[in-house]
Structure 1
Amino acid sequence: MTAGAHFPRGAGKDGGLLVRTVVGVTEVSYVRLDAAAAAAMLDQLAEVYADAYGQVPGEDTGVKADAFRDRATAALGARNYELVTARSGDELVGFVLGYSLRQERDWFGGLDPAPEPGFTDERGGERTVVLAEIEVRKAWQGKGIGRGLHDTFLGGRREERATLSANPVATATHALYERWGWVRVGTKPGPPGAYYREYAVFVRPLWSAEGS
Structure 2
Amino acid sequence: MAELLNVKPTRMELLNLKRRIKLAKKGHKLLKDKQDALVMEFFTIYDEALQLREELGRKMAEAFSALQSAEIDVGTLRLREIGLSVKPNREVEIKRRNVMGVPVPLIEAESFRRSADERGYAFVSSSAKVDLAAGKFEEVLDLAVRLAEVEETLKRLAKEIEVTKRRVNALEYIIIPRMEATVKFIKQRLDEMERENFFRLKRVKALIEARTHAEGS
- TM-score, normalising length from structure 2? 0.24
- TM-score, normalising length from structure 1? 0.24
Higher Rg of the two aligned structures: 2
Give the number of the structure with larger relative contact order, counting CA–CA contacts within 8 Å between residues 6 or more apart: 2
- When you count strand as a share of all residues, which structure comes out higher? 1
